[in-house]
């Protein structure tokens, strides 16, 4: 099944840096958690407990979402989207690691949210619901990294995309080439990761610079973060899907092409998209642009 609920129990919490905390989940139900193949940027949903500390009881099948939506808001818990940083299986069971960005500000656009607050206070034994793929799920549903036969990559992301980029780099075939640029709040947020020898990894500590400005420079584009209404949908443009309803005439990437993958704050990604597709004429069949969050706007799952 592409997505179903799993009750997950916090096994370990590690503060990796000022901006990242890694929460590792275990528990009997995770034995059935997938995906069957490589995760790349596999997205998952996390449902955090209600203010009364309760988690919703959801059917363990494909109808979970319809059921969740019918629950009164105070019984539902809060749902947010995250990436698989790692899935490990051994004699102790299955453990899923998720790297949370700790945005814990108190004012407006830099305010905290329920997911970051939960991660900051997470302790062994805490529980939440993970919505993710079954262990035999091999359809690729929820994985946007779609390079076709391309072996050359350019990956760009802010801190929220760092876990997905790290997983993609860990899952790429050894002969891959290209570069990954990851913009993070400070130099202390540079984290260890593994990548094929031919992929150059650059961490770009922002240290107070405008969000996305270092990524734009790394990508060689001039961007202006566009003013977007708060209720505009998150930008989501891949070779297979267009949130703006663009015509999809993408041929799959071929060996010799370069594939671009860009994710992070929605306004920043929109600016990068304009620069790369409109100015540099990179065909949309070779790019995935994904808004992972929006400044000043709480996500709704």
Ligand X SMILES: Cc1cc2nc3c(=O)[nH]c(=O)nc-3n(C[C@H](O)[C@H](O)[C@H](O)COP(=O)(O)OP(=O)(O)OC[C@H]3O[C@@H](n4cnc5c(N)ncnc54)[C@H](O)[C@@H]3O)c2cc1C
**Strand order through the sheet with 241-242:** 198-205, 177-184, 152-157, 258-265, 287-293, 236-238, 241-242
**Strand order through the sheet with 93-101:** 78-83, 43-48, 127-132, 4-15, 20-26, 93-101, 86-90
Q: From the list 49, 56, 113, 252, which residue makes contact with ligand X (rule: CB under 6 A)? A: 113
Residue 103 or 286 having the CB closest to ligand X: 103
Q: From the list 27, 77, 163, 196, which residue makes contact with ligand X (rule: CB under 6 A)? A: 163
Residue 269 or 282 having the CB closest to ligand X: 269
Residue 79 or 221 having the CB closest to ligand X: 79
Report DSSP letters for 93-120, one per residue: EEEEEEEEE---B-SGGGB--HHHHHHH
Residue 151 or 272 having the CB closest to ligand X: 272
Residue 236 or 259 having the CB closest to ligand X: 236
**Does residue 298 interact with ligand X by CB under 6 A?**
yes
β-strand 236-238 against 127-132: which pairing, if any?
Answer: unpaired
Nearest residue to ligand X on Cβ basis = 113
The site map against ligand X for 44-83 (x = CB under 6 A) is ------------------------------------xxxx
Q: Which of residues 16-45 bind ligand X (CB under 6 A)?
A: 43
Q: From the list 29, 99, 137, 183, which residue makes contact with ligand X (rule: CB under 6 A)? A: 99
- CB 251, CB 222: distance < 8 Å: no
Rounded distance, CA 227 to CA 95, Å? 41
**Does residue 299 interact with ligand X by CB under 6 A?**
yes
Rounded distance, CA 203 to CA 145, Å? 20
Coil vs helix vs strand at 165? helix
Task: Give residues in contact with ligand X (CB under 6 A).
Answer: 43, 80-83, 99-101, 103, 109-111, 113-116, 160, 163-164, 292-299
């Amino acid at each position: 099944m592409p997505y179903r609920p799993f009750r997950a129990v916090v096994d370990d919490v590690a503060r990796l840096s000022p901006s990242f905390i890694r929460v590792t989940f275990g528990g009997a139900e995770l034995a059935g958690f997938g995906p069957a193949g490589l995760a790349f940027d596999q997205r998952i949903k996390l449902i955090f407990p209600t203010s009364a500390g309760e988690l919703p009881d959801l059917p363990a099948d494909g109808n979970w979402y319809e059921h969740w939506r019918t629950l009164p808001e105070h019984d539902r818990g809060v749902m947010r989207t995250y990436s698989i940083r790692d899935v490990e299986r051994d004699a102790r069971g299955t453990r899923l690691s998720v790297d949370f960005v700790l945005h814990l500000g108190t004012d407006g656009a830099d305010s905290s949210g329920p997911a970051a607050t939960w991660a900051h206070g997470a302790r062994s034994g805490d529980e939440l619901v993970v919505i993710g793929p079954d262990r035999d799920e091999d359809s690729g549903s929820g994985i946007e990294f779609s390079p076709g036969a391309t072996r050359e990559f350019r990956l760009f992301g802010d801190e929220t995309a760092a876990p997905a980029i790290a997983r993609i780099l860990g899952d790429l075939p050894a002969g891959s080439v290209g570069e990954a640029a990851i913009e993070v709040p400070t130099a202390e947020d540079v984290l260890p990761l593994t990548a094929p020898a031919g992929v150059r990894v650059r961490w770009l500590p922002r240290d107070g610079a405008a969000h996305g400005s270092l990524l734009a420079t790394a990508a060689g584009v001039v961007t202006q973060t566009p003013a977007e209404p708060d209720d505009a949908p998150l930008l989501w443009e891949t070779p297979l899907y267009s949130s703006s309803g663009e015509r999809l005439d993408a041929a799959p990437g071929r060996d010799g092409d370069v594939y671009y993958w860009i994710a992070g704050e929605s306004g920043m990604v929109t600016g990068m998209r304009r620069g790369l597709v409109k100015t540099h004429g990179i065909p949309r069949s070779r790019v995935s642009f994904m808004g992972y969050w929006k400044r000043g706007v709480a996500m709704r799952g």
